[in-house]
Amino acid sequence: MQHRHPKRVEDYTTANLILIFVNILWIFGVIWANFGIVAVILTGWFLNHMITRLEQYRASREIKWTSDA
């Protein structure tokens, strides 16, 4: 068995962020067509709120982990 070091992997962060943007855009379009602009605004606010909570949760977990060391 040959031991080979893994090759360097390309960074696909930009491509993934563009794909997320395109998907959010068409999903907001469908929500707007079915329920109106208020539903889009509320959905955007809810997504923003949940992302902020996730960020706070991850930051709190990082602080606890580093304080244990």
Model confidence at 7: pLDDT above 90:
no
For residue 32, tell me if it sits in a domain. yes
For residue 24, tell me if it sits in a domain. yes
DSSP 4: -
* Dihedral sign of CA atoms 27, 28, 34, 40 in order: positive
Which amino acid is present at 20? I
Q: Are 36 and 29 in contact (CB under 8 A)?
A: no
Looking at residue 8, its pLDDT comes to: 82
The tokens describing 57, both together, are 């949760």
DSSP 10: P
Looking at residue 4, its pLDDT comes to: 80
Number of domains in the chain: 1
| Residue range 19-69, pLDDT digits in tens | 999 999 999 999 999 999 999 999 999 999 999 999 999 988 876 655 555
State the pTM of this model: 0.67
Q: Are 46 and 27 in contact (CB under 8 A)?
A: no
The boundaries of the domain holding residue 52 are 13-68
